[in-house]
Amino acid sequence: MLLAARAAARPAFRTLSQAHSVRYASGKSLSETIAEIVPERQELAKKIRTEYGQKSLGEIKVENVMGGMRGLKVMIWDPSVLDANEGIRFWGKSIPECQKVLPAAKDGEEMLPESMLWFLMTGKVPSREQTDDLIADLAERSTIPAYAEKIIDSFPKTLHPMTQFVSAVAALNHDSKFAKAYSAGMKKSEYWKTTLEDSLDLIAKSFTVAARIYNNVYLDGASKIPALDKSRDLSWNFANQIGFGDKKGFIEIIRLYNALHTDHEGGNVSAHTTHLVGSALSDPYLSYSAALAGLAGPLHGLANQEALKFVLSIKDAIGGDATHDQVKEQLWKILNSGRVVPGYGHAVLRKPDPRFDALRDFGNRNKDVAEDPVFQLVDKLFKVAPGVLTEHGKTKNPFPNVDAASGSLLYHYGLTQFEFYTVTFGTSRAIGALSALVHDRIIGLPIERPKSVSMESIVQMFK
Ligand SMILES: CC(=O)SCCNC(=O)CCNC(=O)[C@H](O)C(C)(C)COP(=O)(O)OP(=O)(O)OC[C@H]1O[C@@H](n2cnc3c(N)ncnc32)[C@H](O)[C@@H]1OP(=O)(O)O
Ligand SMILES: O=C([O-])CC(=O)C(=O)O
């Protein structure tokens, strides 16, 4: 009776765009929901420009310029803000708050990257039905064109999976709706719409691209990839396509992993790169491909591969039951050799990363993970490394970041090829970075072009 009343009250089926035939049975599509907030976001941008345009957000010191611009408030990023002590908040909500309110899959408990995507794009928590509609919409977009398949299949197996990912995502710009509309004379006020279309296409296809790379590099090649099941979410299909479709725990960790890694405000290398390249009105594919190249650096996303490599090296050298003193010894070894401890430290955070906490909590909630010696070693490191790093005295933050835990969970479920881990990070980061890019276009941000100075000019200025 209730269901029938609800169905009767629903507006007619809507489509997200002319290009897609997915019906948003829940009512307004994602695009229509964003369109509703466009006037208020533009109004806010106008107010900020006119009323606060001449206010100062802080002083720029020479140490900032010489120190990677740390701490300078120099860009707008609306979907998330990072606090040094609390960690990330998405539109004001902490990770535990998001875990409470963002819908999970019908067959799972972890928040879905799709519900996080809706939230990041709109600032509104999606209903169960809206999440289902977005899942269906993305599923329709997730097939990759034959030319892109050919390109991916032509890569040598020895090419790092991230390099393959960077190249494949750039090549997808062949079908960019933004680039096509721009060259046909699209008005500035319309930019956000095709940016959104490209972003949703890219997000959906990135999972299929990632699975294809995995099959080519580690399995029997593309011809053996299971077909996409368009009734399922992106993480389920990704897991299924790389051979983990029957592992519920793996599917759930992939969902949580993808939801957690989406966004970390604007200053990190991958988010900032998307924003910077996008500011030249390069389309979302080119912008995000550049971001992936940054994510592939060992001080950023590649640290998750490096962190697991380090944990396994301790296990190989000493065994899973290493004592705290033995772990300490390994930490000093790496520090004394002049290397960084991967998975520890952060440019902004000054407390343990709440994403690390969420992943550790997942492990502790799942008995088979909690009993895994590799996961237990991660836990031991967490207890020992902050003290060692503090004694070492260099890093401003001796605590773990997200990369300290993520690899051990993937490894536990059998995804042992850690050179692939950053690709999974990349499927997730697209969701946050591209949500922010849509917002850049909504408020009409200009090309990014800060002023640089030479060292000689600094000496000249202050001598
Ligand atoms: C998803 C992410 O991207 S999270 C970050 C992932 N990266 C890592 O885990 C790699 C290890 N960590 C690091 O290299 C750093 O902590 C970074 C890159 C994350 C942050 O860098 P910064 O903001 O420059 O850190 P900070 O100001 O604390 O650095 C001061 C010094 O401590 C050192 N330091 C920082 N972290 C570590 C660490 N984990 N191990 C050893 N030394 C460290 C720095 O190398 C630097 O040394 P230097 O003066 O000789 O150059
Ligand atoms: O914020 C940063 O600089 C790095 C990071 O943790 C992320 O991008 O997820």
Predicted confidence band of residue 151 (pLDDT cuts 50, 70, 90): very high
Q: Are 140 and 22 in contact (CB under 8 A)?
A: yes
Condensed to tens digits (0 to 9), the pLDDT of residues 300-310 reads 999 999 999 99
Cα 203 from Cα 429, distance rounded (Å): 9
Protein residue with least CA distance to atom 15, ligand 1: 345
Residue of minimum CA distance from atom 11 in ligand 1 = 342
pLDDT tens-digit readout, 243-258: 999 999 999 999 999 9
pLDDT digits (tens, 9 = 90+) for 299-345: 999 999 999 999 999 999 998 889 999 999 999 999 999 999 999 99
Give the pLDDT score at 17: 44
Hey, where are the domains in the chain? 30-44+67-299+418-448, 302-413
CATH code given to domain 302-413: 1.10.230.10
- ipTM strictly over 0.90? yes
Establish whether residue 300 lines the binding site of ligand 1, counting it when its CB lies within 6 angstroms of any ligand atom.
Answer: yes
Ligand sitting nearest the alpha carbon of 300: 1
**If you measure from the C-alpha of residue 341 to the centroid of ligand 1, how many angstroms do you get, rounded to a whole number?**
8
Separation in Å, CA 117 to CA 12, 30, 123, 225: 24, 10, 10, 26
Atom of ligand 2 nearest to the CA of 82: 1
CB-CB neighbours of 151 under 10 Å: 19
Percentage of the chain lying above the pLDDT 90 cut? 93
pLDDT of residue 24: 87
| Candidate from 274, 299, 346 with most ligand 2 atoms within 8 A of CB, to mutate | 346
How confident is the model over 120-141, as a mean pLDDT? 97
Q: Is the pTM of this model over 0.90?
A: yes
pLDDT at 27: 86
Spatial distance between the Cα atoms of 153 and 171, rounded to a whole number of angstroms: 13
Residue 57 CA to ligand 1 center (angstroms) comes to: 26
Our mutation pick for probing the ligand 2 site, out of 292, 349, 401, 421, counting the most ligand atoms within 8 A of Cβ, is 401
Crossing angle for the helix pair 191-218 and 161-171, nearest 10 degrees? 140
Characterise 175 by phi-psi region: left (phi > 0), alpha (psi -120 to 50), beta (else): alpha
3-class state of residue 111 by DSSP: strand
Which pLDDT tens digit goes with each residue over 335-389? 999 999 999 999 999 999 999 999 999 999 999 999 999 999 999 999 999 999 9
| Residue closest by Cα to atom 3 of ligand 2 | 268
83 three-state secondary structure: strand
Kindly report the CATH number that applies to the domain delimited by 30-44+67-299+418-448: 1.10.580.10
- Tens of pLDDT, residue by residue over 70-110, are 999 999 999 999 999 999 999 999 999 999 999 999 999 99
CB 106 less than 6 A from any atom of ligand 1: no
In this prediction, residue 319 carries a pLDDT of 86
Specify whether the CB–CB gap between 116 and 264 falls below 8 A: no
**Banded model confidence at residue 20, pLDDT cuts 50, 70, 90:** low
**Counting atoms of ligand 1 from 1, which one is nearest the CA of 300?**
3
How far does the centroid of ligand 2 lie from the alpha carbon of residue 281, in Å? 24
Pocket test for ligand 1, best of 395, 396, 422 (most atoms within 8 A of CB): 395
18 has a pLDDT exceeding 50: no
How far apart CA 425 and CA 295 sit, in angstroms, is: 8
> If you take atom 4 of ligand 2, which residue's CA is the nearest one?
268
Give the per-residue pLDDT at 15. Answer: 41
Ligand 2 center from residue 264 Cα (angstroms):
6
Over 50: is that where the pLDDT of 16 sits? Answer: no
**Closest to 106 (Cα-Cα) out of 232, 208, 271, 289:** 232
Q: Would the CB of 303 count as within 6 Å of ligand 1?
A: yes
Distance 201 CA to ligand 2 centre (A): 24
Q: What is the pLDDT of residue 147?
A: 98
Using pLDDT thresholds of 50, 70 and 90, give the confidence band for residue 183. Answer: very high
pLDDT tens-digit profile of 386-411? Answer: 999 999 999 999 999 999 999 999 99
